[in-house]
Amino acid sequence: MTQLYLVRYFLPESGIRVGVQVGATVHDVTDTIGSVGAWLRSSAGRIDAAMTDLMTAVGASSQAHLAERFNCAPAPDAAHWLAPVGVQDVWAAGVTYERSRAARQEEAADGGDVYARVYTAARPELFYKARGPWVVGPYDQVGIRRDARWNVPEPELALVINPALEIVGVTIGNDMSSRDIEGENPLYLPQAKMYTRSCALGPAIAVGHVGGVWPDTRIAMQITRDGGIVFAGETHTSQIRRRPDELVEFLGRSLRFPDGVVLLTGAGIVPPDSFTLAAGDQVEIIIDAVGSLRNIVTVV
């Protein structure tokens, strides 16, 4: 089956639109699909049929665009990508890679025993990251806290989940983090993780059912400053310790998501302790199964 990508974008003449990208072409399916939330609700218990609905909507679409048209910074007078979620909350899983466990222990003022324990515990670390409207999309600005001195991006595969707690696609996530704040005290995690422009998603949802096996894909990140690369690294989904369905099952144990939810699945790429982001840096995250998410850093 042709790989479909569900997108949201803005047109100056008509506002927020929903599209399905096939190859280099984006087909406007707003009139038939409605919204990402509407499609997620419709997919509950019928994932294959919901994907067929997208193909049907593509066939009925009367408007199409080249995807590259939207590759620019958001502006009210220019077409641009939006984050591929609307009202959907974003949650995150922590310490799911060995590299993340080691980094959390290195930054912690008390040696980080709590991170070593959660890495092997039955219950994963899960935390709230952002409301849907807080999320920034491609080419938009991501933030670093003005009261932090050690800020990093965290490139993550993001699971897109419908109200039935079924994984119906994946996208790219950037879980911006203040390592010095979290390292000072684990109870400061919300301040290290939740602030203005601390979460980016995009450029699209690669639609497809995910169960107990991770998509086999490379995750890479590159940070550019003043035209030169100051950090680059990569990892692979095979390095994630927990299964995707395991993380989703814990997330949904005592929570309901009537419009769906997004779950970031942890970072396996960590810049060295000597590195911190600066205003103007460009962060590019590449996940082969999805594409590329680019953002510019600003101070908030």
- The CA dihedral of 171, 13, 196, 132, to the nearest 10 degrees, is -50
Hey, what CATH class is 89-299 in? alpha beta
Question: Per-residue pLDDT for 47 more than 60?
Answer: yes
Helices 36-43 and 47-60: angle between axes, nearest 10 degrees: 140
In this prediction, residues 208-215 reach a mean pLDDT of: 97
What pLDDT band is residue 139 in, cutting at 50, 70 and 90?
very high
Tell me what pLDDT residue 118 has: 83
Tell me what pLDDT residue 107 has: 59
Question: Per-residue pLDDT for 112 more than 80?
Answer: no
In this prediction, residues 86-92 reach a mean pLDDT of: 97
Tell me what pLDDT residue 95 has: 87
Contact, 186 vs 85, CB < 8 A? no
Tell me what pLDDT residue 117 has: 85
Q: What is the DSSP letter of 223?
A: E
Tell me what pLDDT residue 113 has: 75
